Amino acid sequence: MPTAPRRKMALAFAPEGPSSVAQGGSPVRSCAMPSHLQFTGRLAPSPTGAQHVGNARTYLVAWLSARARGGAVKLRIEDIDSPRIKMGAAEQAMHDLRWLGLDWDGEPVVQTQRLSHYEAALDVLKQNELIYPCTCTRSDIASAASAPHAGEEVTYPGTCAYRCVADAQKLHDEGRSFAWRFRVAENVPFTDLFAGEHHIDLKHAGGDFVVWKNRGGPAYQLAVVVDDAAMGVTEVVRGDDLIPSTPRQLLLYRALNLTSPQFAHVPLVVGEDGRRLAKRHGDTRLSALRDAGVKPEALVGLLAWSCDWLDRPEPISPRELLPRFRLESIPAQPFVLTAELLRQIGYSAAT
């Protein structure tokens, strides 16, 4: 049965930093930074494993982009994916960042310490009937959805989209687990600072997406939106594998009445086979390079050269790179990390 129209509710938690409330009716796209806000970037390692050379390149770009503008850099530990979290990985990630010469402002924000903020955001989405309970398993979705093309994600077919928020109580009483899905119904255009214009039809590229997992706790899309807004983040620099996440996050910014940051998605580091950097390409963990005696300036110089900020790989610190930083100088193609390049900085990436 159709539900009665509801007054749109706004997110109630207080931001940790400059005001991040948007004016109603703004288009769903990255917003230019209001003049009264400090330029703020962020580093957001996930302690699901060790940080590697590919992570280091993205962190370097993000750090330089903020510091070159006299901006702040915030650190967030994205540890909500509890089954995959590795003991000690968060501390190791911070050690890796310090080793590279990348600092941050203030204390690290830890997602598992912010569950009440995510719950508040979920309540806003419920009050505005923007989400619904979904009992589908991954196998249910895979069997019901059309077969995706190579490299594409499965599009949720809308099996549970007929439900409304009130149905959650009955499911709970029946002992049935469920996730919460956000309804999508539009093409979401946005302008990426590096990758340019994008028009992604979410209805046919993933469909309604999960904001709260069936085992409890926020999904990535909701958590990062709530956190970036609360931390006053004005620019997000990350790998271009996350471009599909951006329209989902922009919809959540609008739904929660928050100002979105600008986004810059930069190419990934890949192995000689053209695939995303992984264990199959040898041990490229930052801790392994450090233990082998590689100097951080040597790695930073290699990464700077890969971004066309240096004519050749040579030792340099992140701070020395500040006057050389140009986002537009980064090649549009992925950076191919070869064994020879690693040998040039004194490392053999043995498998």
Tell me the pairing of strands 335-336 and 269-270. Answer: parallel
> Are 78 and 121 contained in the same domain?
no
User: Of 28, 66, 346, whose CA–CA distance to 190 is shortest?
Assistant: 28
290 with 323, same domain: the answer is yes
Q: What is the pLDDT of residue 175?
A: 92
> Is 315 annotated for ligand binding?
no
For residue 149, the domain's CATH number is 3.90.800.10
Residue 30: inside a domain, yes or no? Answer: no
136 is in an annotated binding site: yes
What tens-digit pLDDT sequence spans the chain (351 residues)?
Answer: 333 334 445 564 444 433 332 323 333 434 444 445 689 999 999 999 899 999 999 999 999 999 999 999 999 999 998 778 888 999 999 999 999 999 999 999 999 999 999 999 999 999 999 999 999 988 888 877 665 554 567 899 999 999 999 999 999 999 999 999 999 977 889 999 999 999 988 888 899 999 999 888 999 999 999 999 999 999 999 999 999 999 999 999 999 999 999 999 999 999 999 998 888 888 999 999 999 999 999 999 999 999 999 999 999 999 999 999 999 999 999 999 999 999 999 998 654
Instruction: Examine the domain organization and report whether 159 and 214 are in the same domain.
Output: yes
The residue range of the domain holding 161 is: 114-223
279 is in an annotated binding site: yes
Domain count, the chain: 2
Per the annotation, does 46 bind a ligand? yes
The pLDDT of residue 9: 52
Strands 40-43 and 72-77: parallel
Q: Which residues pair with 236 in a beta bridge?
A: 263
The pLDDT assigned to 23 comes to 28
Q: What is the Cα–Cα distance from 204 to 154, expressed in whole angstroms?
A: 9
Whichever domain contains 324, its CATH number is: 3.40.50.620
pLDDT of residue 118: 98
The answer as to whether 5 is a domain residue is: no
Q: Residues 129, 209: one domain?
A: yes
Has residue 22 been placed in a domain? no
In a domain, 317, yes or no: yes
- pLDDT number for residue 187: 84
- According to the model, what pLDDT value does residue 149 have? 53
Instruction: List 212's β-bridge partners, or say none.
Output: 180, 218
Domain for residue 258, yes or no?
A: no
The first and second tokens of residue 41, run together, are 């970037």
156 is annotated as contributing to ligand binding = yes
Q: Is 238 annotated as a binding residue?
A: yes
Tell me: do 306 and 342 sit in the same domain.
yes
State yes or no: 2 annotated in a binding site. no
Is 132 one of the annotated binding-site residues?
A: no
| Residue 253 in marked binding region | no
Domain boundary among 190, 223, 256: 223
On whether both 186 and 278 belong to a single domain, the answer is: no
Q: Do 103 and 147 belong together in one domain?
A: no
Domain boundary among 170, 194, 223: 223
* 265 class by beta-carbon count within 10 Å (0-12 exposed, 13-18 middle, 19+ buried): buried
Question: Is 134 annotated as contributing to ligand binding?
Answer: yes
* DSSP-derived secondary structure for 101-116: T---SSSPEEGGG-HH
Tell whether residue 280 is among the known ligand binding residues: no
| 59 among annotated binding-site residues | no
Please tell me whether 7 is known to bind a ligand: no
